[in-house]
Amino acid sequence: MKVSAKALAVASALLMSGAVHAQSFGVGYDAGYPQGYVGADAMAWTLDLDGADESFDAVGLRLVAGMKLDEYLAVEFHGATGGSDSHYGSDIELDYLVGGYLKGIVPLGSSARLFGLLGYSEVKLTETTAFANYSGRDDDISFGAGAEFDVSDSLAISADATRYLSQAEYDLDAYSVGLRYRF
């Protein structure tokens, strides 16, 4: 419960900062903002255990929802699940990943953007062996970078690399490609 409370507190802080930023628009405010968006990605995740020769690699599904506050800033939320890999007699499965992020945006002309993500994530993994099942949640500060390319007025292709967890014993990274629909 303590971990979930931390994740809720960070998500609330991100929402509040977005709301304050959105209310700070005055004269010269572009009527196109704030702008909501949703998306779905194929997410290739990698769990690197310290001291292990091989990593656990799988592909899952990530859903994204966000609010672009202006040309340079957005608030974004990720939810992901799926994928498992086996090594050393263990099967690791991604039960869920949730997180909230501030998204800094650098426009590259009118139809392309680079972006950086900084936020907080909670992840639950399950390990299954021949003898038992182990399940655990962990949370950490997360960061990533990516690019978006518009294919129409409301549709874009997005790709990013994100480090969701960096712990003493392991790192969880993801590489995602998908579509974003702006409304």
CATH classification at residue 165: 2.40.160.20
- CA torsion sign, 60 to 65 to 69 to 75? negative
- Burial of residue 123 (CB within 10 Å: 0-12, 13-18, 19+) is buried
N-terminal to C-terminal alpha carbon distance within the chain: 35
Residue 106 has pLDDT above 60, yes or no: yes
Can you give the residue range of the structural domain that contains 142? 2-25+33-182
Residue 3 has pLDDT above 70, yes or no: no
Residue 50 has pLDDT above 90, yes or no: no
Residue 113 has pLDDT above 90, yes or no: yes
Structure tokens at 112: 């392309």
Q: In this predicted structure, what is the pLDDT of residue 56?
A: 94
Instruction: Work out the mean pLDDT of the chain and round it to a whole number.
Output: 87
Q: In this predicted structure, what is the pLDDT of residue 19?
A: 45
User: In this predicted structure, which of 28-42, 93-107, 123-137, 157-171 has the lowest mean pLDDT?
Assistant: 28-42
The Cα–Cα gap between 19 and 30 comes to: 16
Q: In this predicted structure, what is the pLDDT of residue 31?
A: 52
Residue 24 has pLDDT above 50, yes or no: no
Q: What φ, ψ does residue 156 adopt, rounded to 5°?
A: -135, 155
pLDDT band of 2, cuts 50, 70, 90? very low
Which residue did the predictor score with more confidence, 7 or 96? 96
Counting the structural domains of the chain, the total is: 1
Q: In this predicted structure, what is the pLDDT of residue 15?
A: 46
Within 8 A by CB and 6+ apart from 103, the residues are: 66, 73, 74, 75, 76, 115, 116, 117
